[in-house]
Amino acid sequence: MSQVIHHDAHYDPEGSKIGMWLFIFTELLLFGGLFIVYAVYRYLNPEAFEMAAEELNVTIGAVNTIILLVSSMTIAMSTTALQKKQKGTTVVLLEITFMLALIFLINKYFEWGIKFEHGIFPGSEYMTSELSQGEILFYGLYFVMTGLHALHIVVGMVIMGVALHRIQKGTVHPERASLLENAGLYWHLVDLIWIFLFPLFYLIS
Amino acid sequence: MQATSKIPTDVSYLEYKGKYKGLLSWILSTDHKRIALLYMYSMMVLFLVGVALGLAMKLELIAPGKTIMEANDYNAVFTVHGVIMIFMIVIPGLPAVFGNFMLPIMIGAKDVAFPKLNLLSWYVYIAGALLVIASLLFGPGTPDTGWTFYAPYSFKTGTNMLPAIFGAFVLGFSSILTGLNFIVTIHRLRAPGMKWTKMPLFPWTLYGTAWIQLLATPVVGITLVLVALERIFGIGVFDPALGGDPILYQHLFWIYSHPAVYVMILPAMGAISEIIPTFSQKHIFGYKAIIASTLAIAFVGYFVWGHHMFTSGMSGTAQYTFSILTFLVAIPSAIKVFNWISTMYKGSIRMETPFYWAASFIFIFMIGGLSGLVLGALSTNIYVHDTAFVVAHFHFIVFGGVGFSFFGAVHYWFPKLYGRMYEKSWANVGWLTFTIGFLALYSPMFYLGMQGMPRRYYDYLEEFHSANILSTLGSWVMTFGLVIILINLYRSSKNGKIASINPWDGKTLEWTVPSPPPVENFDEVPVYGEKDGPYEY
């Protein structure tokens, strides 16, 4: 009867954690739809997908992977620090996570920028005249999926910003840590999706 | 939130003076009951728009050739009718209105798990509705793809598709948030002692529904985003000119939109499962079988989407598989019908308006369900695909199913919503007129479809004329019935007789709190003992 105690309290950390997990399920299915599309077109155009993948910069991709993995670690450490009531450490670790996310986006910006310079973007003259249909699909999916992922990074940064503000204001504290914990869960999801995107677009050949 | 202890228990949610006054006390309220009514009123407005569009279509079809509109206008009208009715009325209908109002009370909670998120879902809903309406009023032309937004036409047509597509996406987001809220509410906030096996059936069906909302909606969400991106940037995934496959769009669309049919119908079945035991004064027959069939429908419903695409191009194996799975869904649905009938058997039936709605629901749902088997079978499907038969089947299930259940639920819970009784004789007249009109409107379409009249055309051959006249006359009778029902409910909410706590002698928890309920529903948290249950008559 674990639910009994929560009836008069309006704060239910267990409940908000379940809510966050459910939201993560929906996110997985959102990307799941894209992974299906990717799988279908990869199966239909194996060679074009390999050729197009060689154009992507594995180094930037790998660096971004490491950045996200480290950021996942720092946000987890930040959550632990809050539990241990080390407010200063919590804030610093969360700020580091935020900065790592920003660096990820800056890398992404340059990566996309180079593609744009080469005329590789959906609907471009170069794409429709020079590239095969399989390559067009590859780049179409590349921009959609990494773009949607980047949007999730931005949302994650906004949540982190709110969490930072609340921690400093004192409304998120060791007894009321749900916001930070959920921000961490969300951030791990963003990281996890990248872990799949990286090999699918950069590595498989 | 801190003001919890100061909220009085003897003031109803309708009269409670919170922080805000007037309209603000509604649109800023996080009370699940007020949010439910917000949903109900906004849906009622949109529903009347949808009805008007439906009437316009039927009027166009009263005679062959152009009657009141050109072909393009007709395309726009059936598209907008579909988008409004599907995404704004039947998908959110029962969960957002009666789910919001009744779920917390029926499980003995003071509110849903995330009241602010609940209010946010309403705003998201309104935003989505406004976007769709914007697509009608502004831009180069009203969307004309049908509510399914099939590729490649949806990104080739010159009409104002983007706001409509984005609106449907936003409405889906609202649906996800509501589903998420309900799952957590059911897991965390059931009254002490209310085990899963003691939860009333309406919350159970909401639980099944919420999982579908949660797991299926994102797929259509991303699909609609892809169509929008296709339109703006030309990414190629659904464009055959760039190597994409439009059939893939259909798959992704129906992976959501078929389960969405169960989002519509499950809570409708849940409401019927509450009404029938109450008016039979008898324990529901096969409580666990109904739960199992609810979950079975929710589960199998994920794997039948291909039956919308039998003529789109699919391997024989896929066709057989989808056909067999489609037939499987009929089993749990039939189990429910048997359970409802068996509940009435030897019960002491009270012939009240909600019971009439419930009984006619079973009748119409069975016609809709059995005609679904005609469509699920491969050979007959090829014959009646894309004819008026499909329209008839769909409206029997979705309008007959959800609509009849919704009106049944409105009358059943009306005393709880407003603390007043509806005027019974007018309610019965309304029901009868509506039902006769409904049958006259949609039954001829079965015949027309069998005769080969295609759907989605503003014109038809002379030989289809007489059945179409009957159908159009039916649409007028049904609308007349609807007007009677709505006027009666409106008047009764103002000057109906004061309702007692439990006018129907129901046993679920909502009949233990005052009508209308106080802001936090219960003075003290109800406790379920070993022998208590929702249907212990």
- What are the angstrom distances between the C-alpha of B221 and each of A111, B168, B176? 27, 8, 10
Residue reference for tokens 């983007």: B162
The CATH architecture to which B25-512 belongs is Up-down Bundle (1.20)
Q: Give A93 to chain B, closest Cα distance, Å.
A: 29
- Res B5 pLDDT > 60: no
Q: Give A116 to chain B, closest Cα distance, Å.
A: 13
Contacts A15 to B, Cβ<8 Å: 113-114, 184, 187-189
Q: What is the pLDDT of residue B9?
A: 75
The three-class DSSP label of residue B12 is strand
DSSP secondary structure, A93-132, as one string: HHHHHHHHHHHHHHHHHHHHHHHHHTT-STT-HHHHHHS-
Task: Using an 8 Å CB-CB cutoff, list residues of chain B that contact chain A.
Answer: 1, 4, 109-110, 113-114, 117, 176, 180-181, 183-184, 187-190, 192-193, 214-219, 221-223, 225-226, 229, 233-237, 242-245, 248, 252, 255, 525
- What share of residues in chain B are helix, strand, coil (percent, to 5)? 70, 0, 30
Tens of pLDDT, residues B139-167:
788 999 999 999 999 998 989 999 999 99
Q: What is the pLDDT of residue A6?
A: 42
Tens of pLDDT, residues B117-127:
999 999 999 99
Q: Do the Cβ atoms of B349 and B277 come closer than 8 Å?
A: no
- Res A7 pLDDT > 50: no
Quick one: which H or E segment has residue B101?
helix B100-106
Q: What is the pLDDT of residue A83?
A: 93
For residue B131, the tally of other CB atoms under 10 A from its CB is 19
Mean pLDDT on B49-78:
95
Q: Does A4 sit within 8 Å of B223, measured CB to CB?
A: no
- The nearest alpha carbon in chain A to B242 belongs to A133
- Res A8 pLDDT > 90: no
- Res B385 pLDDT > 50: yes
- Res A77 pLDDT > 80: yes
**Interface with chain A: mutation pick from B1, B9, B184, highest number of A CBs within 10 Å:** B184
Q: How many CB pairs under 8 A join A and B?
A: 122
Which residue of A15, A45, A143 is in closest CB contact with B235? A143
Instruction: Please tell me the least confidently modeled range out of B14-23, B110-119, B196-205, B329-338.
Output: B14-23
Q: State both tokens at B336.
A: 């429910």
DSSP A201: I
Q: What is the pLDDT of residue A11?
A: 77
Locate the domains of chain B by residue range.
25-512
Which residue of B180, B187, B222 is in closest CB contact with A34? B222
* Percent of chain B predicted with pLDDT > 70: 99
- Res B11 pLDDT > 90: no
Predicted structure pTM score: 0.94
* Banded pLDDT at B136 (limits 50, 70, 90): confident
Locate the domains of chain A by residue range.
21-203
Q: For A173, phi and psi rounded to 5 degrees?
A: -145, 175
Alpha-helical (H) ranges within B107-200 are: 115-137, 153-156, 161-188
- Give the C-alpha separation, B33 to B520, whole Å: 10
Q: Does A144 sit within 8 Å of B226, measured CB to CB?
A: yes
On whether any CB of chain B is under 8 Å from the CB of A137, the answer is yes
- Give the C-alpha separation, B330 to A84, whole Å: 55
Q: Does A136 sit within 8 Å of B113, measured CB to CB?
A: no
The ipTM of this complex is: 0.91
* Residue (of B102, B106, B100) closest to B535 by Cα position: B106
- Res A1 pLDDT > 50: no
Mean pLDDT on B223-242:
93
- Res A66 pLDDT > 90: yes
Q: State both tokens at A62.
A: 């790998």
* Residue (of B528, B431, B405, B527) closest to B485 by Cα position: B431
Domain at A21-203: CATH code:
1.20.120.80
- Give the C-alpha separation, A90 to A75, whole Å: 9
Alpha-helical (H) ranges within B5-31 are: 24-27
Tens of pLDDT, residues A87-144:
999 999 999 999 999 999 999 999 999 999 999 998 888 888 888 999 999 999 999 9
Q: Which residues contact A175 (CB under 8 A, 6 or more apart)?
A: none
- Res B180 pLDDT > 60: yes
> Taking all residues of chain B, what is their mean pLDDT, rounded to a whole number?
93
DSSP B96: I
Q: Give B222 to chain A, closest Cα distance, Å.
A: 6
Q: State both tokens at B77.
A: 């009208």
Mean pLDDT on B229-236:
92
Q: Do the Cβ atoms of B483 and B495 come closer than 8 Å?
A: no
Q: What is the pLDDT of residue A4?
A: 41
On whether any CB of chain B is under 8 Å from the CB of A7, the answer is yes
- Res B523 pLDDT > 90: no
The alpha-carbon radius of gyration of chain A (Å, integer) is 20
Side chain identity at B397, as an amino acid letter?
A: I
Mean pLDDT on B128-146:
90
User: Which residue pairs from B451-455 have beta carbons closer than 8 angstroms and sit at least 24 positions apart in sequence?
Assistant: B452/B387, B453/B387, B453/B388, B454/B386, B454/B387, B454/B388, B455/B386, B455/B387, B455/B388, B455/B390, B455/B391
Q: Do the Cβ atoms of A52 and A139 come closer than 8 Å?
A: yes
* Banded pLDDT at B6 (limits 50, 70, 90): low
Q: State both tokens at B171.
A: 């409405």
A residues 176..205 contacting B (CB < 8 A): none
* Banded pLDDT at A10 (limits 50, 70, 90): low
Q: How far is CA B480 from the centre of its chain?
A: 21
DSSP B460: -
Q: What is the pLDDT of residue B4?
A: 46
Q: What is the pLDDT of residue B537?
A: 86
Instruction: Please tell me the least confidently modeled range out of B17-26, B92-101, B388-397.
Output: B17-26
Mean pLDDT on B89-101:
95
